Structure 1
Amino acid sequence: MADKLLIGPKLRRFRTSLGLTQARMAEDLGISASYLNLIERNQRAMSAKVLLRMAGVYDFDISAFSDAGDAQLVASTYEALRAPRFKDMPVSKNEVEDLVGISPNMARAFQSLLTERGGAETPTDSPTMRAIDVVRDFIQTHSNYFPEIDATAEALSDELGLHRTGPRVALTERLKTRHETAVRIVPSDVMPDMLRWFDRHNQRINLSELLSQSGRRFQLAFQIAMLEQRDMIDAHLDRAKIEGREARGLARTSLANYFAAALLMPYARFLREAEKTRYDVELLSHRFGASFEQTAHRLTTLNKPDARGIPFFFLRIDVAGNVSKRFSAGKFAFANQGGACPIWNIHETFSDPGRLHTQMVRLPASGTENGATYFSIAKAVSRAGNMYGGRAQRLAIALGCDVSYAPRLCYSRDFNLDDPQPADIGINCYLCEREHCRQRAHPPLSKALMFDERARGMSLYRWVPD
């Protein structure tokens, strides 16, 4: 955490949400009302000491007052403003950061208005994609941590003794004794297009033979979540005011998946083993009987205020570069569309499946800040479905964190952390304005193309400089 922060607008919104006057909050924090007034107007920075005192008095997550929670909103707003219709009204990233800092709800309203009016000019503006964005924002707002779900899942894990007995046996017995539901493994030709089917009429869960053991355990845990914890999950959706069949269905499934992961990898034990193994994802997956993807995703949920893990970001792409799952911790930002940077070695995993790739990457500088450096790992995985005549879906999973956390990772031992020499990457080609990139697939949306019939450079695109 920085020693001093300019967080005036955030502080003012937080104070008014509590119904406090400046005088009352200043008294609670042991500072003068005039000093608090200067902080709220960004004429004075808030020291780490005062912020920590405020966290103790009002019991909130300090990360809510950092720039981390705004990084994704800045990226998505900036991306929306790169649309061709705004080419004569260029807006810098600094201006977007100012808008988000002063009024994040205004930035969200602007994006919503663009979507409703078709202003974002993207083929992904549809009810389905809007539902996906709603759920992504919901998870990002909660920092991918839902304490009530975690606590309930951990208690059930202890009750079932999953750390002592085979999880699949215990979960199958739970479904049988409590819900009178049997579990059956069925041939792939019986369910050619499904991996799990809950036959409510016959009280039976059919699992495809193509599912791995970790996949079978996860599907049973998911079904227990839907049968036993639906009221708790729906209460979360109600509090978040998530409306609409598509958005609620996707959000419900996401939280049931969260419960399943927390049941199989209970928070306290999983965090303890993660620290002990120095976040060795493959070793953790063996210890908890989970897949690489399940384990990597679970690592992004360790955000309990008094027992935090490393704040990871997570990305999942297919061989075409389509992003199907993402979560950003810290300031790492993803674009809403357009894939990932080709220089990031997540793409190389498809040509070398089975090997875990490591890399230091650096995002472009923003305003007066230097570009942030991150340590990332990536690996290609295959979904269920391998059989002659059928190809399993291949995906690449990336997990990363700020370079300051790298010494806590087993993967960093082959790197010189004092002189990391990171690879310079962008969010994606549409938004990256780095010149002379040989991997560029598109010019920046905010720049005009330059054509020269006499010469050809190493990159496909050149653009008119500002």
Structure 2
Amino acid sequence: MADPSVFAGPALRRIRRREGLTQAATAARLAISPSYLNLMERNQRPVSARVMMRLIEEFDFDPRSLREDASIGGLDGLARRFADERFADLAIDREEVDELLSAAPQAAAAFARLYDRAREASASASDAIVAARREIERWRNHFGDLDHAAEELSDEMRLSRGDLSVALTERLRERHQFAVRFLPREIMPGMVRRLDLHARQVQLSEMLPPESRTFQLAVQLAQLEQREAIDTIAQGARFDDETARELFIHHLTGYFAAALIMPYGRFLRACDATDYDLPVLQRRFGVSFEQLAHRLTTLQRVGQRGLPFFMARLDRAGQFSKRIVGASGAELIEAEHSCPLWIVHKTFERSGELLVQLVNSQSDGQTTDVWFTVGRTVEGMGTSGAAKFSVVLGLDASLAGSLAQARGVSLRPEDAVPIGPGCRRCHIEGCEQRSLPPIGRRLRFDPVSRGATPFEFGDRGITL
């Protein structure tokens, strides 16, 4: 049987440095060539059983020490931990990490253990949200089988511009023997929909606006008729966490509901015919702005593609509660916080208005992409109507020329507003809106003058 591959580069370097030997001298004691030792030290060759025996005989080496290296992932694993943005101001490079692992392996293992336990302690449901979102992005938020099934059901139900809620109510009654009942808010506190199996009722809150009533009925129909198809897609994701799987299923259920209300072919034709005029599309399909924004991120059918939009939903504090990149490749919604210069924040001052803005997103002070963005406020799903969010749609500016909302708006890159990924990760200089200095930049202080910006900074170094 072949020897299992054992890579022990850091351990070999520790031995050699402890003994004060050159590679040539160490290789001679191990009865191998210096070039072969060099490859083993760089983990490009495994340590054979014969070399392992020589290590034990010549250097009193304990093979169990390799387990510690393996448990932290060796040099790569330790370097990944030190790459955390919390250490960015220290500018620790890979060579220093290598020196730590070689000179003080137990200290390195202790650091790795503390780091991992701190991460585990801070882990929460947000990890499941991230996992579900990554799976959605792996599909580019386009699930062709669900789209085709929704179109077939739409044709079967003869859904058109008529009252969709009536058609959905009839489907629930005739196919599944469920009646639809609207209940007072005090009977359904904090709830928008409930399936009462005993009474055979789909119960909806009276506080829901018409477009939300229709959507909730479509969601209920998706749960009753598409569960097997949705479960099949979810099973292929292989989530480690059950919560992530349930979140993914929740997304797929809503995806089918939206596809039923806005069938792919008819919806895309309407987009093309109206130049993606958002208010017109809302009225034509009887949907909310948020429902429309979701649907616009899904149009990636082979041979019948729409424009690659991204969408996000944020609260007043700039925290993201939804992010769908779709096929856009947008990185500006990957940030932990949004930039206060982005139009999404102004929408709260002009509730219900559709606002547009051309922005260029920046990373490490370098412009990456220019985006045409459209945003407006929406109310949350709560029945009180108190919660408000801003929903934003975005499209690569080079593709936005034909959009109805882009008419009269300059799409030249030089006219775009620079925005960053939150102040701590933003390296744009001269921003008067800045609240915090960027990580990894040295603050500058001038005793004889005061600039217009809260923080002035220079090269990489230690910040406050």
TM-score, normalised relative to structure 1: 0.72
Say whether 1:352 aligns with 2:350: yes
- Among 141, 146, 151, the alignment partner of 1:144 is 141
2:277/2:404 contact within 8 Å kept: yes
Other structure's SS at 1:286 match: helix
Q: Tell me how far apart the structure 2 counterparts of residues 170 and 176 of structure 1 sit (CA, whole Å).
A: 10
- Among 266, 270, 276, the alignment partner of 1:279 is 276
Between stretches 140-149 and 158-167, larger displacement belongs to 158-167
Q: Tell me how far apart the structure 1 counterparts of residues 302 and 159 of structure 2 sit (CA, whole Å).
A: 25
Structure 1 residue 265, shift from structure 2 partner: 0.2
Write out aligned runs for 1:106-255 (5 A): 118=115, 125-163=122-160, 165-255=162-252
Q: Tell me how far apart the structure 2 counterparts of residues 80 and 196 of structure 1 sit (CA, whole Å).
A: 47
Write out aligned runs for 1:328-367 (5 A): 328=325, 329-334=327-332, 338-364=336-362
Q: Tell me how far apart the structure 2 counterparts of residues 154 and 326 of structure 1 sit (CA, whole Å).
A: 26
1:384/1:392 contact within 8 Å kept: no
Q: Tell me how far apart the structure 2 counterparts of residues 192 and 80 of structure 1 sit (CA, whole Å).
A: 48
Identity of aligned residues (%): 38
Q: Tell me how far apart the structure 1 counterparts of residues 448 and 120 of structure 2 sit (CA, whole Å).
A: 36
2:356/2:375 contact within 8 Å kept: yes
- Among 383, 394, 399, the alignment partner of 1:400 is 394
Structure 1 residue 346, shift from structure 2 partner: 0.9
Q: Tell me how far apart the structure 1 counterparts of residues 413 and 168 of structure 2 sit (CA, whole Å).
A: 49
Q: Tell me how far apart the structure 2 counterparts of residues 263 and 152 of structure 1 sit (CA, whole Å).
A: 9
Judged with a 3 Å threshold, the aligned counterparts in structure 2 of structure 1 residues 414 and 119 are, in CA distance, closer, same or farther, namely farther
Between stretches 192-201 and 335-344, larger displacement belongs to 335-344
Q: Tell me how far apart the structure 2 counterparts of residues 232 and 161 of structure 1 sit (CA, whole Å).
A: 22
Structure 1 residue 330, shift from structure 2 partner: 2.7
Query: Mind listing any 5+ residue stretches in structure 1 that lack a counterpart?
Result: 1-77, 93-113
- Among 400, 403, 421, the alignment partner of 2:415 is 421
User: Which of structures 1 and 2 has the bigger CA Rg?
Assistant: 2
Q: Tell me how far apart the structure 1 counterparts of residues 252 and 82 of structure 2 sit (CA, whole Å).
A: 28
Query: Mind listing any 5+ residue stretches in structure 2 that lack a counterpart?
Result: 1-79, 95-110
Question: What one-letter code is carried by the residue in structure 2 that aligns with 1:332?
Answer: A
Other structure's SS at 2:415 match: coil
Say whether 1:85 aligns with 2:92: no
Question: What one-letter code is carried by the residue in structure 2 that aligns with 1:340?
Answer: S
Q: Tell me how far apart the structure 2 counterparts of residues 425 and 80 of structure 1 sit (CA, whole Å).
A: 28
Q: Which residue is 1:69 aligned to? A: none
Judged with a 3 Å threshold, the aligned counterparts in structure 2 of structure 1 residues 335 and 448 are, in CA distance, closer, same or farther, namely farther
Question: What is the Cα-based RMSD across aligned positions, in Å?
Answer: 2.9
Judged with a 3 Å threshold, the aligned counterparts in structure 2 of structure 1 residues 457 and 184 are, in CA distance, closer, same or farther, namely same
Q: Which residue is 1:39 aligned to? A: none
Structure 1 residue 452, shift from structure 2 partner: 5.4
TM-superposition CA deviations, 1:97-145 (whole Å, max 9, x none): xxxxxxxxxxxxxxxxx99975697899424111100111001111010
Q: Which residue is 2:265 aligned to? A: 268
Judged with a 3 Å threshold, the aligned counterparts in structure 2 of structure 1 residues 90 and 277 are, in CA distance, closer, same or farther, namely farther
Report the count of equivalent residues: 365
Other structure's SS at 2:441 match: coil
Structure 1 residue 457, shift from structure 2 partner: 3.1
Bigger relative contact order, structure 1 or 2, given CA contacts below 8 A and separation 6+?
A: 1
